[in-house]
Amino acid sequence: MKLIVGLGNPGAKYEDTRHNIGFRVIDELSKTFNIPLKQEKFKGVFGFETINGEKVFLLKPLTYMNLSGESVRPVMDFYKISIDDVVVIYDDLDIPPGKIRLRQKGGHGGHNGIKSLLAHLGTENFKRIRIGVGRPESGVAVANYVLGGFRADERQEVEEAVTQAVKACESWLSQDFLKVMNTFN
């Protein structure tokens, strides 16, 4: 079994914000794999389907970003999904808009959603697809920046990054994550 988690905040207010880029990737994967996100349980919305003989789960935690681990851990426990079979998709301030970076493990880098996952999963050894949102201009608070929308001149690059993240997830279903990293980094 594989679990693909996209981090974000629930509700229309946050829909097109930088912090919700993980949700956007999950929405695209839902269309690509024809996996409806209709089940609400474990403080999240999810769906699953068997792809190439393996069950694939898509999850959007509805706990708000800072409590994401409260949704991911129960899904993993209930379905007995190994940490080796989890990938988390989220926004990253240290990567320029339109770029993605894949990692097999790591710290939180100041990201509160990842802090929550580290606390609830008890390990930093989970796969990540980080999507660049860039840093705010001087004087703009980080919270306001990540909860704001993309500028018009960033939108095409961001859509490309979402497409690349979807392709990376597709590749991971049939290839080792290290090979996927080598392809997409």
- Active site residues per annotation: 19
- The gap from C-alpha 138 to its chain's centroid, in whole angstroms, comes to 27
| Residue 125, marked binder | no
CA pair distance 73, 82, nearest whole angstrom: 11
Query: Which residues are registered as beta bridge partners of 100?
Result: 131
CA–CA dist 113, 158 (Å, integer): 20
User: Hey, what long-range contacts does 46-49 have (CB within 8 A, 24 or more apart)?
Assistant: 46/75
Q: Is residue 66 marked as binding?
A: yes
> Could you count the other beta carbons within 10 Å of the beta carbon of residue 13?
9
- Does residue 64 have a known ligand-binding role? yes
CA atoms within 13 A on the CB side of 103: 16
